[in-house]
Structure 1
Amino acid sequence: MNSESNLLPKAHVPGIPPIVDLTLEQIAAGLDEEQFTTEDLVSTYLARIAEVNDEFNAVVEINEDALIQARELDEWRRTQGRKSILHGVPFLLKDSIVTTDKMQATAGSLVLIGAKPSREATVVTKLRAAGAVILGKANMAEWANFRADTTLAGWSPRGGQAKGIYYRGARPHVSSSGTAAAVRLGLCFAAIDSETDGSMVKPAQAHNIVTIKPTTGLVSRASCIPLADTLDTIGPMTRFVKDAAKILKVIAGKCIFDAVTDKIPHDFEPDFNAVCSGITLNGIRLGVPTNFFRDEFPESVLETFARALAVLEEAGASVVHEANIVGVDEYMQLDLWSKEVVMHTDFKTSINRYLQELHTNPYGIKSLDDLIAMTKSIPEEEATSRGTELWEAARGTTPDDANYLFAKEREWRLGNEEGIPGAIKNLKLDALLMPSVPKQSTHFAMFQGTPIIAVPLGFYPADQPLKKRTNGDVYESGPNFPYCLSIWGERFSEEKLIRIAYCFEQLWTPKVTIQPFRMPITELKDWSAF
């Protein structure tokens, strides 16, 4: 991993807050007022990565041109003003998001080293146009955690095993573990990530940060390595709701290279920034689908959730309890293959498309069959011990199979009238709220691509017993593990969800605040010349 983070820091300057606590508005103001430069920001983040990445494996690659880009952006600001509020702000990208610079985009795999489509990801192009710095790539579970049931979440042969940051041995959670850890540790200002089924909201919870998982189609997925074209979405990870909203405003919109963005309504002109201005929720109706999490969480979590509901009620919202999702019981009784056949089939179709569209393809892989064979041929992929059984199951699927078509029809029902939108519509709600991210709940948001926001809520008590995951030597829960408030909505209801999330964030006071067990110590003031 290349970086220039060994440069000597500049003189200390008092008065600059810890970099991990800076908001987007504070960074923009600091740059505008010449308290520090983009080069100072990039240097600070590179130094922080160098301090702790050996412990957490959060970052897999540094953009070797990041400091050059920073200096160019500083010169642009001096001579032409800032391009946007993101001008000079450093971002990390999930390793599945393609750039046309020297960095790789491999979804954690060694098979895709050197392989790229002809176009950069639309989301990256938008960030660059807004003046953002692409700092590097974050580690992820290989192939978005879709290779084998035995593979530990957060592992990739390219980046190693990503680690939890609140307890040694804690599960970092599904594919976006590196990006979430990097945001909370202050290894970047923000990150751009993807989700199919929980890959953003679960790591955000595990690392005590904010994420907005947008409606599928609100943000282009063009030139991003897919898990399933019909299900994937792209969104921001940040420390604060308002910052995530501002980033979403920049990256959202239609794209000629992603047909799913055509589903954005013609009259959809949200102002995500404007809804981050008040702390009242008068007229907002919130539902609690108790049947999704009954008996799942300890009393400490439920008590904190009840306190959160009271805060929202004090802000003017009304809360409807037992706003249950009709299809939960049906779905929970399905066998595993009935739940997975759609994702397996769509993965095969999507990855075949992506591989066939590659502009550079050193290994010449064109299909899932090629991918399996090449993965098994590379020792570092550890195919013998870690397996490829999810791929093996996917290779036999076809989109005209009766089981697939029946499952698609069922998922349409469970994603509409018998799912989250149905509960919201039938009870005239604005959103649903749940403590944490209940098991299999993200499936219901995946079915029809409905949005979720995760906001930090609390921490398990210090005497919470450690609980190991059944298929790995990692801890699922334990002392001081964070959990979130999750906010669920209908398609393209992000404006409502952001308003609720922002209001809650402003009013909420957690009983305790726990820091990761190891944090970098390099600060922006160590580099600033002002």
Structure 2
Amino acid sequence: MPRLLSAAALLAFATPLAAQAVSEPPVSIQIDKAASAADSAEIYASRIAALDDAGPVLNAVIAYDPAPRSAAEEINANSMLAGRTVLIKDNIETREWPTTAGSLALVDNRTERDAPLVANLRAAGGLVLGKTNLSEWANIRSNGSTSGWSAVGGLTRNPHAIDRNACGSSSGSGAAVAAQFAWAAIGTETNGSITCPASINGIVGFKPSVGLVSRTHVVPISSTQDTAGPMTRTVADAALLLSAIAGEDAADTATINVPRRADYFSGLGDFSLDGVRIGVMRKQTGNRADLNTVFDQALADMEAAGAVLVDIEFDVNEQMYGDSFTVLMFELREEMGKYLASLPGDDLPRNLAELIVFNNFNAAKEMRWFGQDLFELAESTTDQAAYEKARVNAVRIAGAETLDALFAEHDVRFLVAPTRGPTWTSDLVNGDNFNGSIGFGSPAAIAGYPHLTVPMGAIEQLPVGLSFFGAKWEDFEVLQLGAAYEAVRTAEIPQPNFKRWEPPVAAED
């Protein structure tokens, strides 16, 4: 799909046409640990040129530095990240490029400032390589959306099967890491937007406890549930990246006086599965026999390493979903208005009502395949008392009455469940088609608790992930558990092939 940009936007987002001169890179690469940060950055940039600008045209990256060597050479080799390349979801401000949230309404949103989490990343020696595509407005515009599509970036393709979906809203970040366009990427999540694309693209994704990472200068949905987090190829890399971006921010009160560690990678491997009690969410595994087979293998791997597995039969109190939805609608109007009103540029929308007008005026480009029913509902969700009651209920049900209660009642330290099923065929006409019976991510998202997904295998060569949940602020412990599982995992993890999906040849009896 061509990128839908105005002439001005094309200039703003110009990426090199040098892809024509770049030879097709290998499907998978191994960068020598002795390679310099500059050499590694150039390799990643060449892959973007060959596989995102050209080749299968994944549409995972909206803008990037085609010649990152000089920037990489300026980074202190003894810093925490030592020049490792990171792609940033395009709802997070960076000083080099506009921050669009995927919408034509913000193609000129050049704030020339870094979000605090990006400033922390740079201070830790990270190299910002570019901005990734996303589900427009982080998938909060319409119930009929197709994940991974934005008017600015087009439709992100899954590198494991380019006719299939990359999930959202951090679709570009998930696809880019899987395609090895950077060492890592940063996504954002309100409810599943890091963990779903990580699972479906076959990578690690970590949604930290809300408050570990600043949300300032990040295009918002919900002050209650929003957070940024790392998307990487290993748990250790996720822990390292979290260490770089986490930090207190006076402008984001959720980050003040939280039990934040100095880093999340020191001692990551000092953890044994032996004797660890883990609750298995049996009713949240869905109705797919093939997924349950993969899940059972992951459980067997942990049990063989000494974990004590406790089957849990649990029905979620569905009032949580309705109350959380009320919270999202109320906070979307409030928080989006604050963000838009703060932008330094001219001729930008200043509140949600103006965004709705913009989309109606530009409906041919913005609303060809789906509308803005959620924007319109949020604009009319103004009952403060109903919102406050819904927020208290949603957080209590998700936290104290669900996660905390399960930990206590079953005497388990952690919970596990499949993250999602395998990816579905992308369909702009009919929207998303995923199995909502799979997964247990909503309580952690609504209560602000940590949620880690780690690749656990594949179905028909399509990746699926394993979710780990812990108590609020036990982010390090959840990362330790994920790393321990990663070390004992026996399943084969598929590699992207950048082709359309075809049924694998069945093994002969």
Band of TM-score, shorter chain? 0.7 to 0.9
Structure 1 133/287 Cα, relative in aligned 2: closer, same or farther at 3 Å? same
Establish whether residue 84 from structure 1 lines up as the match of residue 79 from structure 2: yes
- CA deviation profile, 1:276-330 (whole Å, cap 9, x unmatched): 324622342111122333xx142222222222222212222211111x446x0x3
- In the alignment, residue 70 of structure 1 is paired with which amino acid? A
- In the alignment, residue 446 of structure 2 is paired with which amino acid? F
How big is the shift at 1:38?
2.6
Q: Is the 8 A contact 1:95 1:138 kept in 2?
A: yes
Q: Is the 8 A contact 1:192 1:236 kept in 2?
A: yes
Aligned residue in 1 for 2:38: 39
Establish whether residue 496 from structure 1 lines up as the match of residue 498 from structure 2: no
Aligned residue in 1 for 2:371: 387
Between 496-505 and 118-127, the greater mean CA deviation after superposition? 118-127
Aligned residue in 2 for 1:305: 295
Match of 1:96 among 91, 97, 105: 91
Equivalents in 2 of 1:210, 1:495: separation in Å?
A: 15
- In the alignment, residue 451 of structure 2 is paired with which amino acid? I
Aligned residue in 2 for 1:144: 138
Partner SS state of residue 92, structure 1: strand
Structure 1 272/20 Cα, relative in aligned 2: closer, same or farther at 3 Å? farther
Q: What is the percent sequence identity of the aligned residues? A: 31
Establish whether residue 485 from structure 1 lines up as the match of residue 466 from structure 2: yes
Map 1:490-529 onto structure 2 (within 5 A).
490-510=471-491, 512-518=492-498
Match of 1:374 among 347, 358, 364: 358
Aligned residue in 1 for 2:6: none
Match of 1:287 among 257, 270, 279: 279
Partner SS state of residue 128, structure 2: strand
How big is the shift at 1:20?
4.2
- CA deviation profile, 1:19-51 (whole Å, cap 9, x unmatched): 7445xxx64xx1xxxxx3333222211111111
Map 1:14-413 onto structure 2 (within 5 A).
20-22=29-31, 27=33, 30=34, 36-53=35-52, 54=54, 55-63=57-65, 66-73=68-75, 77=76, 82-101=77-96, 103-117=97-111, 119-262=113-256, 264-265=258-259, 268-269=260-261, 271-278=263-270, 280-293=272-285, 296-322=286-312, 324-325=313-314, 328=316, 330-331=317-318, 338=323, 340-360=325-345, 362-379=346-363, 381-383=365-367, 385-398=369-382, 400-402=384-386, 404-413=387-396
- In the alignment, residue 108 of structure 1 is paired with which amino acid? G
Q: Is the 8 A contact 1:279 1:315 kept in 2?
A: no
Q: Is the 8 A contact 1:278 1:503 kept in 2?
A: no
Aligned residue in 2 for 1:435: 418
Q: CA RMSD in A?
A: 2.6
Q: Is the 8 A contact 1:91 1:188 kept in 2?
A: yes
Equivalents in 1 of 2:209, 2:72: separation in Å?
A: 32
- In the alignment, residue 92 of structure 1 is paired with which amino acid? L
Aligned residue in 1 for 2:433: none
Structure 1 303/270 Cα, relative in aligned 2: closer, same or farther at 3 Å? farther
How big is the shift at 1:439?
4.2
TM-score by length of 1: 0.82
How big is the shift at 1:261?
0.4
Equivalents in 1 of 2:245, 2:28: separation in Å?
A: 24
Equivalents in 2 of 1:122, 1:432: separation in Å?
A: 32
Q: Is the 8 A contact 1:141 1:153 kept in 2?
A: yes
**Structure 2 unpaired stretches of 5+:** 1-13, 421-436, 500-509
Number of residue equivalences: 466
How big is the shift at 1:125?
0.5
Q: Is the 8 A contact 1:424 1:431 kept in 2?
A: yes
- In the alignment, residue 517 of structure 1 is paired with which amino acid? N
TM-score by length of 2: 0.85
**Structure 1 unpaired stretches of 5+:** 31-35, 461-478, 520-530
Equivalents in 2 of 1:456, 1:384: separation in Å?
A: 35
Q: Is the 8 A contact 1:3 1:46 kept in 2?
A: no
How big is the shift at 1:401?
4.1
Q: Which has the higher contact order (CA 8 A, sep 6+)?
A: 1
